[in-house]
Chains A and B, each alone.
Chain A
């Protein structure tokens, strides 16, 4: 596997689902994540509401935009193209008509063309990482992609699975949580941010990489590029065309708001504290 001319294109897969849910801690307005606290440094834009029938979160009328980690993925792909290490960047997104806006944003950043995999209605509500990965794997084979870059996770469901499942389906190596990636001859050097620190790995191409926060700072689209984006093509594809069944194997039983924070109790001594913790069954 050689560099530049051989690496045909980088497919940058975009997740455009739902809420622009920044804030800290996330649990207060991201009801699907009941036990985890996520601290992200960006501002809160939209208040998330659980649907009255508790089957999910209200998405009607909520502004959808590109997942921030996917923005970082697109930026990395375009950087590779600017360095002339890849020939073509294809931006892909799965979802209803609105995702075309997000693909256009990727085109305005510098991607060459887009693919919109149409999934709408009930299918879209139950669309999860497994089905998306199957779609991406099928597309990667069809487009003969050499590199797939995705955001490490979507900030609405925080699954952190699509990249990994896609790599497994394709039997490709994966470099996840990348904070740095370098193409060296026919190998990809990826520095991964893991709990213990930084891990550097070298993987063969073709490969799947998932972008983490510190990989780069996405550019603002320039006005001339926004104009050029209008002329770039977005192809329409249906999952059935790729031989993928988007039927979900999971059933959401219910979605609830996280419980309201209760008031704390002040104690005088450490012994009191231990006593109270034992009472509450926490120790």
Chain B
């Protein structure tokens, strides 16, 4: 136990500095979380992994699986039981997304978007009425939500939202186009960000809740993506879309803050998804290393392969611990922005690195659809882009570091 290594006063200050509940938790997860992780792993192995390749080929939304996950409570992990959720913590949620993504990356992102990007902001900023209306029906897997921030004209530049909202009597009227919205073709509601006061720049953005389908809201064509093909991505077009005044989420002008805080948490979900993809790629490569023989022995005996597997495992484990730590900080209500950005950056770069190397280990077999390595490679790529590009993550981290060292 760590306390044997450090004098007790130093231990408390270290623990306080890191803000985690207990240092020993970094070594092993609590029993509850282990059980939860095993359940999700079993589900992913038995129900998701066998169909993942076909879902990818057909670009098919896994409706049945989403419902089953809803029944398990996985579609609303952090939502309190009173509202229909599982009432667990963010660490549990990250574990769930990782294990599910290990089976099917698309299902992982569907779960993540519903939990972090849709339910997350409503849970944090919604009124009691809004929570009942917009959260409870979305906990069972029957309905999923989505998050509409990006536009054709701005992704990383979220402050420049050109979608406008103006008040007309007792309604808000929304006009504009949102782009790259995950889940939108299968969603029943969305959180939309629109400018209510252009002169206030990013402080003039507000958040709105819009049901789907809804008059004035239409969907663009489904994007034909490189990976995560079972989840739908498209534009949301708003043309005089009218919603009641009560559909504003949070206060007027609060939109940017809501978006940034939501993404802080959401990026942990994506980090978890990236970890799942990376782990699946490592599983594939390590298994192949045992079975494939060359030069008279399984290729796992060759140092070239061994070094690759070691680097792959190291990248995953490092990113995983970062992700867990960021989640634990968030659960302890401590600042976690820097750690979350590090986790997302680390995990997404690990995913692309590991899946790249996995194809290399498999050689020609890695390039064909008979093996899942090519799908992991395609699925991994998006994790460095959505919910904050790697470049943005670096800016966030640098910003925090410079603040820490403020002269």
Residue numbers in A under 8 Å from B36 (CB-CB): 223, 226
Interface flags for B31-48 (1: CB within 8 Å of A; 0: not) read 110011011001101000
Q: For the complex, give the distance between the alpha carbons of A104 and B35 in Å.
A: 8
Say yes or no for B397: interface residue by CB 8 A criterion.
Answer: no
B111 → A minimal CB distance (Å): 12
Interface flags for A12-55 (1: CB within 8 Å of B; 0: not) read 00000000000000000000000000000001000000000000
Q: For the complex, give the distance between the alpha carbons of A31 and B35 in Å.
A: 30
Contact assessment for B43 and A223 in the assembled complex, using a CB-CB cutoff below 8 Å: no
Say yes or no for A105: interface residue by CB 8 A criterion.
Answer: yes
- Of the candidates A104, A222, A230, the one whose C-beta lies within 8 Å of that of B86 is A222
Say yes or no for B72: interface residue by CB 8 A criterion.
Answer: yes
Contact assessment for A230 and B87 in the assembled complex, using a CB-CB cutoff below 8 Å: no
| Residues in A128-187 with C-beta less than 8 Å from chain B | none
- Of the candidates A104, A108, A220, A229, the one whose C-beta lies within 8 Å of that of B43 is A220
Q: For the complex, give the distance between the alpha carbons of A105 and B77 in Å.
A: 19
- Of the candidates A43, A101, A220, A230, the one whose C-beta lies within 8 Å of that of B39 is A220
| Residues in B67-112 with C-beta less than 8 Å from chain A | 68, 71-74, 77, 81, 86-88, 92, 96
Q: For the complex, give the distance between the alpha carbons of A72 and B73 in Å.
A: 22
Contact assessment for B32 and A226 in the assembled complex, using a CB-CB cutoff below 8 Å: yes
**24 interchain pairs (CB within 8 A)?**
A43-B45, A104-B35, A220-B42, A220-B43, A220-B68, A220-B72, A221-B35, A222-B71, A222-B72, A222-B86, A223-B74, A223-B88, A223-B92, A223-B96, A224-B73, A224-B81, A224-B86, A226-B32, A226-B35, A226-B36, A226-B39, A227-B88, A230-B31, A230-B32
Listed residue (A43, A223, A224, A229) with the most chain B CB atoms within 10 angstroms of its CB: A223
SS class of chain B's interface: helix, strand, loop or mixed? Answer: helix
Residue numbers in A under 8 Å from B72 (CB-CB): 220-223
| Residues in B134-158 with C-beta less than 8 Å from chain A | none
Q: For the complex, give the distance between the alpha carbons of A227 and B89 in Å.
A: 11
Contact assessment for A229 and B73 in the assembled complex, using a CB-CB cutoff below 8 Å: no
- A104 closest partner in B (C-beta): B35
Residue numbers in A under 8 Å from B77 (CB-CB): 223
B66 → A minimal CB distance (Å): 14
Residue numbers in B under 8 Å from A227 (CB-CB): 32, 86-88
Count of chain B residues with a beta carbon within 8 Å of a chain A beta carbon: 21
SS class of chain A's interface: helix, strand, loop or mixed? Answer: helix
Count of chain A residues with a beta carbon within 8 Å of a chain B beta carbon: 14
Residue numbers in B under 8 Å from A105 (CB-CB): 35, 38
A124 → B minimal CB distance (Å): 22
A61 → B minimal CB distance (Å): 15
Q: For the complex, give the distance between the alpha carbons of A282 and B73 in Å.
A: 59
Interface flags for B336-377 (1: CB within 8 Å of A; 0: not) read 000000000000000000000000000000000000000000
B405 → A minimal CB distance (Å): 41
Q: For the complex, give the distance between the alpha carbons of A221 and B34 in Å.
A: 13
A167 → B minimal CB distance (Å): 31
Contact assessment for B86 and A223 in the assembled complex, using a CB-CB cutoff below 8 Å: yes
Residue numbers in A under 8 Å from B86 (CB-CB): 222-224, 227
- B71 closest partner in A (C-beta): A222
B139 → A minimal CB distance (Å): 11
| Residues in A88-114 with C-beta less than 8 Å from chain B | 101, 104-105, 108
Q: For the complex, give the distance between the alpha carbons of A108 and B31 in Å.
A: 12
Q: For the complex, give the distance between the alpha carbons of A226 and B92 in Å.
A: 11
Residue numbers in B under 8 Å from A221 (CB-CB): 35, 39, 72
The 6 closest A-B pairs by CB, nearest first: A223-B73, A223-B86, A222-B72, A222-B73, A221-B39, A226-B35
- B70 closest partner in A (C-beta): A222
Interface flags for A229-245 (1: CB within 8 Å of B; 0: not) read 11000000000000000
A104 in contact with B73 given A222-B86, A227-B86, A227-B88 (CB within 8 Å):
no
A41 → B minimal CB distance (Å): 12
Contact assessment for A108 and B81 in the assembled complex, using a CB-CB cutoff below 8 Å: no
With A43-B45, A224-B73, A224-B86 known, 7 other A-B pairs at CB within 8 A are: A104-B35, A108-B39, A220-B43, A221-B35, A223-B73, A223-B86, A230-B31
Residue numbers in B under 8 Å from A230 (CB-CB): 31-32
Residue numbers in A under 8 Å from B68 (CB-CB): 220
| Residues in A189-248 with C-beta less than 8 Å from chain B | 220-224, 226-227, 229-230
B351 → A minimal CB distance (Å): 24
- Of the candidates B35, B38, B87, B96, the one whose C-beta lies within 8 Å of that of A224 is B87
Q: For the complex, give the distance between the alpha carbons of A227 and B36 in Å.
A: 9
Q: For the complex, give the distance between the alpha carbons of A230 and B33 in Å.
A: 11
- Of the candidates B31, B81, B87, B88, the one whose C-beta lies within 8 Å of that of A104 is B31
Q: For the complex, give the distance between the alpha carbons of A221 and B45 in Å.
A: 15
Residue numbers in A under 8 Å from B45 (CB-CB): 43
Q: For the complex, give the distance between the alpha carbons of A176 and B96 in Å.
A: 37
- B50 closest partner in A (C-beta): A43
Q: For the complex, give the distance between the alpha carbons of A222 and B81 in Å.
A: 12
